[in-house]
Structure 1
Amino acid sequence: MTVEYVIRKAHLDDVKAMHGLLLHCAQKGLLLPRALIYLYGHIRNFFVAEMPGGELAGCCALAPVWEDLGEICSLVVRDDMRRRGIGRSLVQACLGECRELHLQKIFALTYQEGFFTRSGFEVVEKSILPQKIWADCVHCPKYPDCDETAVFLHLGEARTA
C-alpha cells in the first residue's frame, strides 16, 4: 500500500502534534520524552511527515552538536504508519540538511539499532561522542547508565565548491 505524505520543515503549529507523537513513544520506552518548551525552542531542527489531510505521521530532528558533528534525534513515526518508508524519508531529509550545514559526522542514540544500520549507520561506542555526553547526556535521568545504542555515519566531505 502506497502512502502519500510530504516531508517538510516543522512549523510552530505542528508542536502539539509532534509532542503527542513523541510522548506516545516515550511512554512505551522507545525514546526519551521532549517537553513542549524544548520543541518550541528547537522547532527549526525538526522535519515532519505530513499526510494529505494535514495530520502528522512522524517527525525527526537534526541537532548540530559540534563544528562537524550532528545528531539525528526525536525520530518517531505513528504506529499505524510504520514500515512505509516515512522514517527513512525523515532521516534522509535530515542528512540533506547536514550537507547544507557542512556537517560530516552524524550520530544517533537509539533503541532502534536495526533501522539505523539498514540506513548505513554503524554501531559505535558512546565514548567517541564526548561533546554530546557533556552537552546533553549529563542532564538525562538515565545518565550515566544509558541503555541506548550509539550509531554513527560519516558523510565524507560535505563542503561544495
Structure 2
Amino acid sequence: MSSYIRKAMMQDVKAIHALLMSCASKGQLLPRSLSSLYSHLRDFHVLVDRDDERVLGCCALTIFWADHAEIRSLAVVEELKGRGFGRKLVESCLSEAVTLGVYKVFTLTYVSGFFARLGFEEVEKDVLPQKVWTDCLNCPKFPDCDETAMLLVM
C-alpha cells in the first residue's frame, strides 16, 4: 500500500471525525466535534491511501500565540500503528510550524514516550500560554486534566 501526507480538504472531515472518535472511544485522545473539525480544517494534515484517497491518519497544528503552536488530534488507523506514520504526520506539522515562524510547539498527550522520541520534553502545564486554557474549559476532563504537557523548542 502506498500513501502520502497532504493538507486536509473538506471531503476529509467526516473520515477525520470517525478516526478521532474511534481513538477517543479507546481513551487514546480527546474527542472533537464535527463543527470543531470544520472550523479548524486548515490545521489538519492527513495521511491518505494513494489508490483510493482514504484517510489513514491525521494530525493538527493549531497556532496559539505569536510563538506557540500545539500538535493535537494525532491518530493513525489501527492496522498502520507502529510503522512510523504518526511520526511523519507530526514532522509534517512541525515543518509547517517552522515555515510559519513558530518555534515552540507543545502537546498535551497520553503517549509521552512517542513525543519524547521526537524531541519533546515534559513541562508543567503552567508554562503553556494562557490561551490554551480557554480550549480546556470545553474539555470534559476540565479541571482534572490527566494529559502530560510536552514542549519542543526548535
Equivalent residues of 2:64, 2:129 under 8 A apart: no
Residue in 1 aligned with 2:113? Answer: 114
In the TM superposition, what whole-angstrom CA distance separates every residue of 1:52-77 from its partner, at most 9, and x where no partner exists? 22111100000000111000000001
Q: Across the two proteins, how many residue pairs are aligned to each other?
A: 153
1:67-106 equivalences in 2 (<5 Å): 67-106=66-105
Residue in 2 aligned with 1:19? Answer: 17
Looking at structure 1, the residues matched to 140 and 48 of structure 2 have their Cα atoms a distance apart, in angstroms, of: 32
In the TM superposition, what whole-angstrom CA distance separates every residue of 1:110-138 from its partner, at most 9, and x where no partner exists? 00111100111011111111424432112
1:1-161 equivalences in 2 (<5 Å): 4-52=2-50, 53-155=52-154
* Structure 1 gap segments, 5+ residues each: 156-161
* TM-score using structure 2 length: 0.96
Equivalent residues of 1:66, 1:131 under 8 A apart: no
The letter for the 2-side match of 1:71 is: E
In the TM superposition, what whole-angstrom CA distance separates every residue of 1:32-87 from its partner, at most 9, and x where no partner exists? 10011111111100000001221111000000001110000000011111111110
**Percent sequence identity over matched residues?**
53
Looking at structure 1, the residues matched to 45 and 95 of structure 2 have their Cα atoms a distance apart, in angstroms, of: 11
Residue in 2 aligned with 1:158? Answer: none
The letter for the 2-side match of 1:143 is: F
Equivalent residues of 1:65, 1:131 under 8 A apart: no
More off after superposition, 144-153 vs 133-142 = 133-142
SS in structure 2 opposite 1:17? helix
* TM-score using structure 1 length: 0.91
Root-mean-square deviation (Å): 1.0
* Structure 2 gap segments, 5+ residues each: none
